[in-house]
Chain A
Amino acid sequence: MRLLNRSAGRLSRHRRGPLAGLVVLLLGLLLTGGLYAAFSPAQADQTGSSADQVAQGRRLFLVSCSFCHGQNGEGVRSQDGDHQLGPSLIGVGAAAVDFQVGTGRMPMTQPGAQVPDKPNVFSDQEVAALAAYVATLGPGPAIPTKSDYSLEGMSETQKQDAIARGGQIFLTNCTACHNFEGSGGAMPRGGYAPKIRGVDPKHIYEALLTGPQNMPNFTNGNLTPDEKRDVIAYLGSLNEMKEYGGFGLGGLGPVSEGLAAWLVGIGLCLAFAVWIAAHTTRSTKKKVDA
């Protein structure tokens, strides 16, 4: 008798709408995706490069960077093959991109001896996307986290020691190019080591790590992350320090001091000398002998 009633004990087929299957499919997707997003493990790269980000980065790369760096970041050589026009970006890592694009150095608008920093053309999110894309080209240094270059969490004595040691490391490795105050210095053929005061600590870390343009590398086997942190702390202390003696005259040393001595010193003294010996006002009145 159950065999003769096919709808007995079963749900009525009129209870499912025509789109029910689609709805279930969508629900299933949402559920799976949400569970995945909630429970997937954290990435080693803090920027959390998702495929979307990488894809966005690739699109930006093709438009802004591939002309010099090649469609796959392999670099571009000159026609005769003798010269590298744009270097290969395979293995430079997200840190290099974050530095170069974040400081506006890239895209390079003018060939020359030096790639100066300039206003950034990309938003932070776009920079992150580019960095994520280039990181996929080959393994390279990652963008540092705040804990890499900050002294937070250290005691006062530890901070002081770190700054003092950072000063010694700075004077040994950095001042030869960047000058005792970080005001910059000349390099051959029109290049220069730029001013490093007032620069974001993250960018300083990345510059040390990746050796942008003509700067040598200071990879973690050369200057350990702690040593880099100390150098950044010392630079920060320079930024916070009062100018004890007055106007710094550009922090360039004896050349600007000599200029000031001549212009201000001799100039003022000369001005006074001219005043002292100048003819004074005369009157047409005559003296009356009383």
Chain B
Amino acid sequence: MSDSHELANLPDEAVTTDLYADPGLPEHHWRPTDVDPKLEKRAERQVALMFTLSAVCTVLMIVCYFAIGRDDAIGSFGAQNMTLGLCLAGALLFIGMGVIQWARKLMADQEIIEMRHPAASSEADREATVAALNAGIEESGIGRRPLVRNSLLGAVGLLGVPAIVMLRDLGPTPNQVVKEDPYPGAGISHTIWSDGMRVVRDVVGTPIRPSDLEVGDLVNAEPEGLFNGGPDGEPLEGVALQVGKAKGAVVVVRMQPDEIIPGPGRENWSVDGILCYSKICTHVGCPISLYERTTHHLLCPCHQSTFDLADSARVVFGPAARPLPQLPLKVDSDGYLVAQSDFNEPVGPSFWERG
């Protein structure tokens, strides 16, 4: 940017000066610290004091680091975080305030002017650049050699493809997962549930008899396969466990049998008023267990979709579009609640291929 650039590209000054002439920069008034050496010294001491306080805080922080343990407390608060943090805050804030006070009180504060330049380059620069570009392009001959140019573009463009193709192994496709079946119930349309699998209480893994439950009970339950689905009957672990839970978690509720409106073909899916539904919301997949006992509504805490568990879990409020899948129940020979089969539809959020 040379000093002799044109200022003509800048907007017409007339808009700002058509009513009043520019009075120019206001007269500069001195600050008390500029004209009174006592005040100046005082300001200096103020600034130096702040820097000193900052140093004190820093030292204090290091002392606290070694002296205060995790179990120390200030009232009901943990002492370690609070003391370290307050000391650090003091150390930083005092430097900041000191520097700012220095600028405000002691550094020269007369406003100065700098001239702008138009954002565009000068005409001469533009012409020179265009000339250089043209010379370069001309010498390369790319304009005159379409075969070279086009084949280069093709080759470079094609190079983009490996970058995408090499991301293929980020993960299996949904179909691959079903085929490879790395764990029980693999695939987006299936869960680990199967005919005769017991419904067990979450965390503790104990099976449930119908007589254990009273009207109004809500049990957060899991498929027993999570607790004994490993090769030697041991609990599932790692990815298999997490995926199994993410699709297999259910809620079991008991209500008065005459309150239930069974869905078509679902008359024998309940046992003595005990119903079982998927716990995974059909909106975007949060687990649900907010149960309003008197209305038998189930509310999802994420986006407030509400399902009526007495009516095949149809949606009564909120952004969900589909009812919760229902798990058909029966009682096995030992008297425990078991599933009749897997769910008859995919659980969880909707997806394109769901149909």
Interface residues of A (CB under 8 A from B): 165, 168-169, 172-173, 176-177, 185-188, 191, 193, 211, 213-219, 221-222, 227, 242-247, 272, 275-276, 280-287
Contacts and interface: CB of A to CB of B under 8 A. Distances in A.
Contacts of B204: 169, 227
B290 A185 contact: yes
Interface of B: 29-32, 34-36, 73, 76-78, 80-82, 85, 96, 100, 104-105, 109, 201-204, 208-209, 211-220, 253, 287-295, 297, 299, 301, 304, 306, 317
Given A176-B288, A217-B293, A282-B30, 6 more contacts: A177-B289, A186-B304, A188-B297, A211-B217, A222-B218, A246-B85
Most central of A213, A285, A286 by chain B CB within 10 Å: A285
A217 B31 contact: no
Contacts of B35: 283, 285-287
Contacts of A245: 78, 81
Nearest to B306: A188
Main secondary structure of the interface of B (DSSP, over half): mixed
Given A172-B203, A283-B31, A214 B217 contact: no
A173 B288 CA distance: 10
B302 to A, nearest CB: 10
B345 to A, nearest CB: 23
Nearest to A283: B32
Nearest to B105: A280
B301 A176 contact: yes
Contact of B77 (A227, A242, A280): A242
Nearest to A170: B203
19 contacts: A169-B203, A169-B204, A185-B290, A187-B290, A188-B297, A193-B290, A211-B293, A214-B293, A216-B218, A218-B218, A222-B213, A222-B217, A222-B218, A242-B78, A246-B82, A272-B100, A276-B100, A282-B29, A283-B29
A16 B229 CA distance: 89
Given A285-B30, A285-B36, A187 B81 contact: no
Contacts of A214: 292-295
A188 B299 CA distance: 7
| Secondary structure call for the A interface | loop
Contact of B293 (A169, A173, A215, A282): A215
Contact of A217 (B216, B299, B301): B216
B208 to A, nearest CB: 8
A15 to B, nearest CB: 68
B240 to A, nearest CB: 19
Contacts of B317: 188
Contact of A287 (B34, B202, B293, B299): B34
Nearest to A166: B203
Contacts of B287: 176
Contacts of B219: 222
Query: For B287, B290, B293, which residue has the most chain A Cβ atoms within 10 angstroms?
Result: B290
Contacts of A243: 76-78
Given A169-B203, A280-B104, A246 B81 contact: yes
Nearest to B218: A216
Contacts of B109: 280
Contacts of B213: 219, 221-222
Given A188-B317, A280-B31, A283-B30, A219 B217 contact: yes
Contacts of B209: 221
Nearest to A169: B203
A62 B104 CA distance: 77
Contacts of B202: 172-173
A176 B290 contact: yes
Contacts of B293: 211, 213-217
Given A283-B34, A283-B36, A285-B30, A211 B216 contact: yes
Contacts of B73: 242
B100 A275 contact: yes
Contact of B292 (A191, A218, A247): A191
B8 to A, nearest CB: 33
B221 to A, nearest CB: 10
A63 B85 CA distance: 58
Given A172-B203, A287-B34, A187 B211 contact: no
B78 A244 contact: yes
Nearest first, the 9 A-B pairs at minimum CB distance are: A221-B212, A216-B218, A244-B78, A282-B29, A217-B216, A176-B289, A285-B35, A283-B32, A242-B78
Contacts of B304: 186, 188
A274 B292 CA distance: 51
A215 B220 CA distance: 14
Nearest to B253: A216
B185 to A, nearest CB: 21
Instruction: Name which of B109, B213, B218 has the most chain A CB atoms within 10 A of its CB.
Output: B218
Nearest to B34: A287
A173 B220 contact: yes
Contacts of A213: 293-294
Contacts of A247: 77
Choose among B77, B212, B292, B304 the residue with the greatest number of A CB atoms under 10 Å from its CB: B292
A217 to B, nearest CB: 4
Contacts of B214: 217, 219, 221
